[in-house]
Structures are given as structure tokens and as C-alpha cells.
């Protein structure tokens, strides 16, 4: 928070002592290192994966990248506005189903989802086009819901977003002819290459960065830290929140579409409380107020989950095989999360961003 405030202050001070205006893109140049470093981190992970060439590992890393997209999407709204949202996975659900509608073979669609409109039944797009359209569709839904919800703040807003998630889930689990109700929608083309997911994750990171340093993003963070003062200086808080809500809705939709393409099957309950809490936990453990926190949280917790899974499957030490009993994986994950939060209540990264030490000290 202090970082955001000082950012806002320094720009404000720059404008006030107006003789020399801050150089164009000064803020962008000062902060660009963060998204670049984060992208390099992901790129390194992708390169290592490709070099090992193992299929299951490949799938794991794809899951990590999808989660990075989702958590960055959450950060855009939650981190900048300070309002905890339980509803964003709803947009992921919308995005995933939109991708399914757009990419499943028309023959199969006629059989399994007969209630779709004729033009949608006939279309079949490549996955990257469907992902972009899915993001737009989710953004549209976010705009409609956000118009209503963004008037609320604090815990009432959290509950309202939660009610939104439950609404979306109820509709998608019962609208037999369009979503296949609770049975899974199959036949989504599966993309096994790692690069599309890497591109998606990097795009999400850069979108989040661009939003955070935009006029709207700065205003929103000022409103998060000092709502009264921000409103008094003419910031229209519901409007800035709506902007963040729509941007994050689009990113969540993109994540949903890519998730659908990574597993090939969608059901409404994939996109409900389980995913909501695991993504929120990653964000909070990493540090809610910083983009780096979100990404680091995903990478660390995913690595942890994977390590525990390996232990559960059994590791051979010399002659004996060492395996954890079933259920220990989840218990250990919960305990580790509690310990991290107890030691660092504002997350691993606090509110700082990942950057090179020199550049942050100088300014």
C-alpha cells in the first residue's frame, strides 16, 4: 500500500511542481522491470519443461500457467481495489463454456448441446480465436454484473460477488440444452503445446501491469488506501472499480478458455468453490497487493502441491518405498498455508514488487 501511495504521491508532486513535467512514460519505464522479470521466470519454467520432455510434467506446467492467468486476473480486481471477490471464477466458467461452444465439432454439438442458436452450432473456430472471443464474452458479463455490484463495497461486495458465482453455477448446472447441465461437455480440442499457455500467462501479466500504472489503476489504488480522501479528490470509485472488474473479467475468461483447452472437458462444478478458494489462497499467500505476489504464490503453492503428490505416490529411498497416507497432501497444504500466513500476514511478497534492487532504491 505504501508503494502505491508513494507512486501516486510522486506523480502528484511531479504535476504540482509543474515546471518540468515528468517525462512521458516515466512511470512505465520505472516499473516495466516487474512484468519482464515475471515473464522471464515463466519462460524459464517453460524452457526447462520442454527440455525434460516429460508428458506429465508438461501437463503440470500447463496447469500452473493457467492458474497464473486466473490469479493475475484476480489480482487486477482484488489487489487494486482491496475488495475481496469470490465471484471471479464465475467468469472463468463463462469463458470455458464459451470456448466449448465455439470449438467443438458441429456434428457433436448438435447432439450434445441442441439448445444453442443456429449460427453458434455451425461455427468452429481455432482455439486462439475462441480464447479471445471467450475473454470478450466474460468481459461483457463482467460489465453487466459490475454495473450493479460495483456500487457496493467492503464485505457486502464480497458476498454479492459470491452470490453472482452461485447464480452462474446454478444456471450452468441446470440449463440442460445449452450447457449440458451437470454432465461434462466433451470434445473440446485439447492443446498440448506449452507455448499458447505461456503466451496467455505473459499477456495476462502485461495487461495487469498496464492496468496498474494506468490513470484508472492508480486512482483505484488511491481509493483502496484512502477511500474518503480519494473520493474527495474527485475519483469516481464505482467507475474505477468497474474498469478493473471488466479487465479482470476478461483475463479470467481467457484463463477459462485455456483451461478448457488444456483438459478438454468442462463441467460447472470445476468452476466453483474449489477453484475459487485455491486461486484466492495462492493470491493471499503470495501477497494480495502485488502482481509479483500473485505469480510467486501460484508457482510456489503449485510446486508444493506437486511435491506432496509425489510423496503421496511414493518415493523409493534405497530399498524401502516411502509414501504418505492419502489425505496428508491436503492437510499439509492447509497447515503450510496457515503457517505462512501466521508468519507473514500480508503474504510472502508483502506489497512489494519483484524488481532489481538498484532501480527501486534510486528513485
240 Cβ partners below 8 Å, 6+ apart?
A: 81, 216, 219, 220, 223
Least distance (Å) between residue 46 CB and another protein: 29
Q: Give the residue among 253, 173, 172, 250 at the shortest CA–CA distance from 210.
A: 250
Looking at the Cβ atoms of 15 and 231, the one nearer to another protein is 231
Q: What is the enclosing helix (H) or strand (E) of 237?
A: helix 237-263
- Strands (E) located in the chain: 315-317, 320-322
Identity of the residue, 34 or 279, whose beta carbon is nearer to another protein in the bound complex:
279
* Closer residue to another protein (CB): 281 or 290: 281
Least distance (Å) from another protein to the CB of residue 160? 5
Give the contacts of 306 (CB within 8 A, at least 6 positions apart).
Answer: 60
Cα–Cα distance measured from residue 283 to residue 297, given in angstroms and rounded to the nearest whole number: 6
Rounded distance between C-alpha atoms, residue 343 and residue 326, angstroms: 28
| Residue 61 · residue 46 · CB < 8 Å | yes
**For residues 187 and 287, which CB has a smaller minimum distance to another protein in the complex?**
287
Name the nearest CA neighbour of 128 among 249, 257, 262. Answer: 257
CA dihedral 100, 102, 104, 107 (to 10 degrees): 130
Task: Report the residue number, 200 or 249, with the smaller CB distance to another protein.
Answer: 249
Signed CA dihedral, 261, 265, 267, 270: sign only: negative
Min dist. Cβ of residue 330 to another protein (A):
4
- Least distance to another protein from the beta carbon of 20, Å? 36
Residue 154, H or E segment: helix 154-174
> Cα angle at 34 between 4 and 256, to 5 degrees?
95
Q: Least distance from C-beta 152 to another protein, angstroms?
A: 5
Q: How far is the CB of 257 from another protein (least distance, A)?
A: 23
* Residue 128 near residue 92, CB atoms below 8 Å: no
Measured from the CB atom, the residue of 143 and 337 that comes closer to another protein is 337
Q: To the nearest whole angstrom, how small is the minimum distance from the Cβ of residue 88 to another protein?
A: 14
* Closer to another protein by Cβ: residue 153 or 306: 153
Strand partners, 322: 315
Minimum CB distance to another protein smaller for 129 or for 170: 170
Q: How far is CA 311 from CA 29, 196, 297, 317, in A?
A: 44, 30, 21, 11
CB 273, min distance to another protein, A:
7
Q: Does residue 171 contact residue 139 with C-beta atoms inside 8 Å?
A: no
- Helix 55-81 to helix 88-103 angle (10° resolution) is 130
Least distance CB 325 / another protein (angstroms):
7
> CB of residue 233 vs another protein: minimum separation in angstroms?
14
* Alpha-carbon 354 to chain mean position: 18
CB nearer to another protein: pick between 49 and 267: 267
Pick the closer one to another protein by CB: 125 or 235. Answer: 235
Q: Which positions touch another protein (CB under 8 A)?
A: 84, 148-149, 151-156, 159-160, 162-164, 166-167, 170-171, 174, 228, 273, 277, 280-281, 284-285, 288, 325-328, 330-331, 333-335, 337-338, 341-342, 345-347
Amino acid at each position: 500500500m505504501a508503494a502505491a501511495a508513494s507512486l501516486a504521491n510522486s506523480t502528484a508532486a511531479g504535476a504540482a511542481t509543474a515546471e518540468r513535467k515528468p517525462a512521458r512514460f516515466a512511470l512505465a519505464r520505472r516499473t516495466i522491470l516487474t512484468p519482464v522479470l515475471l515473464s522471464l521466470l515463466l519462460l524459464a519454467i517453460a524452457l526447462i519443461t520442454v527440455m525434460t520432455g516429460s508428458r506429465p510434467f508438461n501437463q503440470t506446467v500447463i496447469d500452473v500457467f493457467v492458474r497464473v492467468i486466473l490469479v493475475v486476473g484476480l489480482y487486477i480486481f482484488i489487489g487494486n481495489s482491496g475488495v475481496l471477490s469470490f465471484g471471479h471464477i464465475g467468469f472463468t466458467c463463462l469463458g470455458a463454456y464459451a470456448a466449448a461452444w465455439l470449438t467443438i465439432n458441429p456434428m457433436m454439438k448438435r447432439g450434445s448441446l441442441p439448445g444453442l442458436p443456429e449460427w453458434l452450432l455451425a461455427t468452429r473456430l481455432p482455439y486462439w480465436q475462441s480464447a479471445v472471443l471467450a475473454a470478450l464474452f466474460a468481459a461483457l458479463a463482467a460489465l453487466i454484473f459490475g454495473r450493479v455490484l460495483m456500487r457496493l463495497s467492503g464485505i457486502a461486495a464480497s458476498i454479492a460477488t459470491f452470490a453472482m458465482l452461485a447464480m452462474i453455477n446454478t444456471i450452468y448446472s441446470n440449463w440442460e440444452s445449452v450447457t449440458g447441465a451437470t454432465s461434462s461437455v466433451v470434445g473440446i480440442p485439447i492443446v498440448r503445446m506449452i507455448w499458447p499457455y505461456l503466451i496467455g500467462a505473459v499477456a495476462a501479466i502485461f495487461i495487469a501491469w498496464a492496468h496498474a500504472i494506468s490513470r484508472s489503476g492508480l486512482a483505484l489504488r488511491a481509493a483502496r488506501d484512502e477511500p474518503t480522501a480519494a473520493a474527495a479528490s474527485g475519483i469516481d470509485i464505482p467507475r474505477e472499480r468497474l474498469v478493473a472488474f471488466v479487465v479482470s473479467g476478461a483475463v479470467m475468461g481467457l484463463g477459462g478458455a485455456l483451461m478448457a483447452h488444456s483438459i478438454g472437458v468442462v463441467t460447472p462444478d470445476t468452476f466453483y468453490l474449489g477453484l475459487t478458494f485455491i486461486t484466492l489462497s495462492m493470491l493471499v499467500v503470495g501477497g494480495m497487493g502485488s502482481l509479483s505476489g500473485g505469480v510467486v504464490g501460484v508457482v510456489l503453492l503449485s510446486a508444493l502441491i506437486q511435491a506432496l503428490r509425489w510423496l503421496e505416490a511414493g518415493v523409493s529411498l534405497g530399498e524401502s518405498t516411502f509414501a504418505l497416507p492419502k489425505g496428508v497432501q491436503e492437510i499439509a497444504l492447509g497447515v503450510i498455508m496457515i503457517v505462512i500466513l501466521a508468519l507473514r500476514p500480508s503474504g510472502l511478497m508483502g506489497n512489494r514488487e519483484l524488481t532489481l534492487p538498484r532501480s527501486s532504491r534510486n528513485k
